[in-house]
Structure 1
Amino acid sequence: MPDSDFLVTSLLIIISPGAGTIITLSAGLRQGARSAIVSAAGCTIGILPHMLAAITGLATLLHTYPLIFSLIKYLGVAYLLYMAWRTIHDKELLLACSHGSTMSNSGLVRQAVVANLLNPKLSLFFLAFLPQFVSTQDAHATRIMLMLSAAFAAMTFFVFSLYGMFASSVSKKLLGSRRVMTGVRWAMALAFIAVGVKLAIAVQ
């Protein structure tokens, strides 16, 4: 059973606004609960490489060579800014439900996976946090880290799915007003920019 402190801290990190949250909310608004759950699954898949990197020690390599780490970090920033640009310029992005234009499941998954793959804060989280709950004397340390990582992944999928289903439940009310949807579209774009800037300055 995962440590309660680990679960509480993980939950706080997961529910805080981030790229995955925004992507899942956007999918719920555009295409409904099912697509939101697909996006949540994509976000969850996107954290798996960070888990494996931390567990196998590859994350240490990233932080030993700041240039490599910075490259990944700023690729993530660039992707988030691209998402902001796309949201601002694609006026039908958040009106897709009412116009029948949807993104395929594979497209939703790909978008979510890329966003989390290029988020080095996840690598930092697993690198810095997992070892605190594993004893160096434990013969099953790797198994414990895998268990904790699996718990984090399951919580991510559950929380993001709830976010997306909530967005889907209010989408019909929002989609009835172009003015409201324009405001939402700009809010989403600004959220992407804010997350990108936060990511750029969070880890020096």
Structure 2
Amino acid sequence: MSVEFLLTSLVVVLLPGTGVLYTLAVGLGQGFRASVAAAFGCTLGILPAAVASIVGLAAVLHASAVAFQILKYLGVAYLFYMAWTILRDGGALSVSEERSRHLAFTLVRNGLLLNVLNPKLSLFFLAFLPQFISPDASNPTPQLITLAFVFMVMTFVVFIGYGGCASLARDYVISRPTVLLWLRRSFAGAFGVLGLRLALADR
């Protein structure tokens, strides 16, 4: 495993996306333990995309416009749903003085769906992982599995870091209603923008 793969993966994981936003919002709203569940769900959501790229199913999404569009619009709808969930009072990502104890299953499920319903994730792995396979490898599958596993571990660790930072800022945020309101609007707006970007994406 090359240093280039580790550095590139770290940069990709650190970039703010739906998983980062979700983990930050849960960390602010429900604390560190809840953010760990959110991070686990987001990481678990990478698994189908990684498996799809390894067995070649991602190529089907690339070749079939219909399959890509169906999955894409399911992802768009879910991103808009997450935006609405953040905005509404008492929603799953609501930030309040009382620590809302949503079931870990719900937090994991939401994070998982955010990545599962993103067809571009499968295409990303299809383009990303093969770049770091040894040219002389007779059977690249074990290497692909190892790379995908390392990428998932890095994602989980980084997302826990994001969630931990958000939970540390929780007391500051909930004591300032104006900051709280703008954070909710910002998170909801960010999910809405990501939904629009996905809706307008071709491949």
TM-score (norm 1): 0.93
Secondary structure class of the residue paired with 2:95 = helix
The percentage of aligned residue pairs carrying the same residue is 44
**Aligned residues of 2:29 and 2:99 also touching (Cα < 8 A):** no
| Corresponding residue number in structure 2 for 1:62 | 61
Considering fraction of residues, name the structure with more helix.
1
- Runs of 4+ aligned structure 1 residues displaced above 6 Å come to none
**Matched residues in 2 for 1:73 and 1:28: separation?**
27
| Corresponding residue number in structure 1 for 2:32 | 33
| Corresponding residue number in structure 2 for 1:102 | 101
Secondary structure class of the residue paired with 1:81 = helix
Q: CA deviation at 1:87?
A: 1.4
Q: Equivalences for 1:107-118 in 2 at 5 Å?
A: 107-118=106-117
Instruction: Between 49-58 and 2-11, report the one with greater CA deviation.
Output: 2-11
**Aligned residues of 1:30 and 1:102 also touching (Cα < 8 A):** no
Q: CA deviation at 1:77?
A: 1.0
Q: CA deviation at 1:125?
A: 1.2
Gaps of 5+ in 1: none
Matched residue count:
202
Q: CA deviation at 1:135?
A: 4.2
Secondary structure class of the residue paired with 1:71 = helix
| Corresponding residue number in structure 1 for 2:155 | 156
Q: CA deviation at 1:121?
A: 2.0
| Corresponding residue number in structure 2 for 1:190 | 189
TM-score (norm 2): 0.94
Q: CA deviation at 1:21?
A: 0.6
Secondary structure class of the residue paired with 2:45 = helix
Q: CA deviation at 1:176?
A: 0.9
Q: CA deviation at 1:110?
A: 0.6
| Corresponding residue number in structure 1 for 2:51 | 52
Gaps of 5+ in 2: none
Give the alignment's Cα RMSD to 1 decimal: 1.5
- State whether structure 2 residue 174 is matched by structure 1 residue 175: yes
Q: CA deviation at 1:199?
A: 2.2
